[in-house]
Amino acid sequence: MSMSTDWKNRLYNLKILNLKISNTLLLLIIVASLTECKKDELKIIDIDGNSYHIVTIGTQVWMTENLKTTKYNDGTPIPLVTDGTAWSNLSSPGYCWNGADYGALYNWYTVNTAKVCPQGWHVPTDVEWHTLILYLDAAASLSGYPESLIAGGKLKETGTKHWQDPNTGATNETGFTALPGGYRSSGGFSVTGLTGIWWSSSESYVGYAWNRYLLDQFSGIGRYADPKGNGNSVRCLKDK
């Protein structure tokens, strides 16, 4: 065999090897893409048939959207309360709407039934909220004010489609996609686009329960005792 023929064969074999490597890499990329899509397609469905994407953050599995069910998980309707005076006088479960993008707003009496989330899910306790925040910020303190200076930005949806400018620190690196649905009190609807507030299932003291809140001009997250009659957003957490 001549030297030139030998090198031609070597080059040919090298091209075949490169082609196999390229095809293998392409296959790995396709598989990775399909795997990522499957993760995005993981959903939970509530009693009304609404579907919610979910995300794993640390050891917890969260919905990435605010709850919007109109029924408890046993099929019983939750009272829809549209009248402002009736809402301010409530000491029993009720919900209302403050824009289709933000899910429903529920008072804490609804949360306290332990039936508002789909079967296998629940409204997080005060401690479970702190577990999330501590995973995102090792310096977070349950007794701090605010609880964390940086965790909020990791939870907020980016941009200004829902949050008002400047939406400080928003990266949504967790995929939690927190939205500013505001709240409803005896005075009506407030701070939509500026603030997102989510109930915990934990009572703080008589007439009040713990929440978590995010602000448009702040990258942190706060903890506050809210009147139980207020209407706040709800995020559900998967049971362990």
Model pLDDT for residues 155-198, shown as the tens digit of each residue: 999 999 999 999 999 999 999 999 999 999 999 999 999 999 99
Mean pLDDT of the chain: 88
- Determine the pLDDT at residue 100: 87
Residue 233 has pLDDT above 60, yes or no: yes
Which phi and psi angles does 132 have, rounded to 5°? -60, -50
CA distance linking residue 187 with residue 179, whole number of Å: 21
How would residue 6 be classed by pLDDT, with cut points 50, 70 and 90? low
- Determine the pLDDT at residue 42: 78
- Give the model confidence (pLDDT) of 49-60 as tens digits: 999 999 999 999
CA distance linking residue 129 with residue 137, whole number of Å: 12
Arithmetic mean of pLDDT, 70-77: 98
Nearest to 155 by CA among 55, 223, 9, 11: 55
3-state secondary structure of 77: strand
Opening angle at CA 182, ends 178 and 184, nearest 5: 140
